[in-house]
Structure 1
Amino acid sequence: MVRVLRSCIQSILKLVNSVIGMAGLAMILYSAWMIRVWQREMGDLPFGHDSDDYPPPWFIYTFLGLGAVFCVVTCLGHVAAETANGCCLYLYMVFVVLLLMLEAALTVDVFVNQDWEKDFPKDPSGSFDQFKNFIRSNYEMCKWVGLFLVSVQGLSLLLAMILKALGPHQYYDSDDEYTPDRVPLLKNAPPQYVVVDPGYAHGNETWNRVSGKVN
């Protein structure tokens, strides 16, 4: 029963964890598009092209870094779900908790601080303003997408905790699952004695004598 439950939780954790990976891939693709736009406008890649006139496009860096972190967390989650290793599960849970804390801090800053835009530096690429305007124009959709992503992360954290409580796999042979506890080793086995019925032994001796006379 525990083995079946563990397998089900592993499969669900892999499925839920894949959603985080898809979100990371989407962020990386969006970052690649922003890099392409920057290169078309500036004639050069944004990396290593910092000056006083054109400060670094921090929004592109941040989005690309978050996408890479999401993909790394997804890979770690798949390894932890497959092996049910305690160290991998602990590391995975730490990364998910850090992501949740970061998202919670950003959410509180946006909703509590009225001048939250001043906390971020100016983005020369204009991508931050475009992203902000897109969220404002599609607030309901973005709100549900954000809640869904946070719920997925919370569910993956809960599944990882349950899988850690169940423990790792224990492999046994189907026919010999409890044999080591019942049967001693051959070299340490006590001598075996055979009890023979005296009447049966006497009958064998009589038969042998009769057979000798006939022959």
Structure 2
Amino acid sequence: MSGIIKSCMQFTLKFVNLIMAMVGIAMILYGFWMLRVWHRDMSGSSYEDLDYTAPWFIYTFLGTGVALCLLTCLGHIAADTANGFCLFCYMVIISVLLLIETGIAADIILNEDWEKDIPEDPTGRFRDFKQFVEANINIFKWIFLVIFLGQGLSVLLAMALRACSPNQFSNYDSDEEFTQARLPLINNHAQQSAYVIGEPPFVNKNEAWNTNK
């Protein structure tokens, strides 16, 4: 029964990581599209203009997508192997990501002038993306909620798998096997000590006959 529950948790964790991987791939594709459009728009500008107008929003978008894909790979490996160390690293990274997302969401909700906290985007893609999100705010609310809940569920599943992992009992198993392997040596040593202290278990018949005479 415990094996079935563990398999279900592993499958659920892989499925949640698959959803986050799809989000990361979509962000990478959209980031490359924005980068291509920006290079096309800046093809007539000089080198100084290109260096001055660094597309930080595009690079941030691409970096976030790559980080999500790498994180989902780690989560898939941790779920498949149920290794305690991989699960611990996965939990720590997901927890830090959740804290960052919570801080950003709180700043956007509570601070009306949150746009002043970020640098100006020279490409204009941040403004376009913001307008696109505001036009489809109901859909994006559900998307953000699903991602946030999926990450929280990933942490809980990783904790449960780590608790069910047999790695933490491996030391005790090895100690028992080692103790059982040493028992015959202890018994032999005890038997040899008994032979030295007491009388020998076998007596030569000729020596006994000569003694009686």
Is 1:140 paired with 2:138? yes
Q: Which has the higher helix share?
A: 2
Q: What does residue 111 of structure 2 align with? A: 113
Separation (CA, whole Å) in 1 of partners of 2:41 and 2:52: 12
Q: What does residue 35 of structure 2 align with? A: 35
User: Is the partner of 1:125 in helix, strand or coil?
Assistant: coil
User: Is the partner of 1:122 in helix, strand or coil?
Assistant: coil
Q: What does residue 92 of structure 2 align with? A: 94
* CA offsets 1:88-138 (integer angstroms, 9 cap, x no match): 001101111111111111101101111100111111111100011111111
Alignment check: 8 A CA contact 1:80 1:89 kept: yes
Q: What does residue 194 of structure 2 align with? A: none
Q: What does residue 205 of structure 2 align with? A: none
* CA offsets 1:136-181 (integer angstroms, 9 cap, x no match): 11111111110011011111111111101111479xxxxxxxxxx9
Separation (CA, whole Å) in 2 of partners of 1:37 and 1:54: 17
Alignment check: 8 A CA contact 1:54 1:124 kept: no
Separation (CA, whole Å) in 2 of partners of 1:4 and 1:169: 18
User: Is the partner of 2:120 in helix, strand or coil?
Assistant: coil
Give the AA of the match of 2:3. R
* CA 1:127–1:53: 2 relative to 1, 3 Å: same
Alignment check: 8 A CA contact 1:6 1:166 kept: yes
Separation (CA, whole Å) in 1 of partners of 2:132 and 2:147: 18
1:39 is displaced (CA, Å) by 1.3
Alignment check: 8 A CA contact 1:28 1:64 kept: yes
- 5+ residue gaps, structure 1: 171-180, 189-215
Give the AA of the match of 2:7. S
Separation (CA, whole Å) in 2 of partners of 1:50 and 1:82: 49
Q: What does residue 7 of structure 1 align with? A: 7
Identity fraction in percent: 50
Alignment check: 8 A CA contact 2:98 2:148 kept: yes
What's the C-alpha RMSD, in Å, of the aligned pairs?
Answer: 2.3
Alignment size in residue pairs: 171
Alignment check: 8 A CA contact 2:84 2:167 kept: no
Separation (CA, whole Å) in 2 of partners of 1:2 and 1:50: 63
User: Is the partner of 2:160 in helix, strand or coil?
Assistant: helix
Q: What does residue 157 of structure 2 align with? A: 159
Q: What does residue 59 of structure 1 align with? A: 57
Q: What does residue 197 of structure 1 align with? A: none
User: Is the partner of 1:114 in helix, strand or coil?
Assistant: coil
1:6 is displaced (CA, Å) by 1.1
User: Is the partner of 2:123 in helix, strand or coil?
Assistant: coil
1:43-82 equivalences in 2 (<5 Å): 43=43, 51=49, 54-82=52-80
Separation (CA, whole Å) in 1 of partners of 2:43 and 2:80: 45
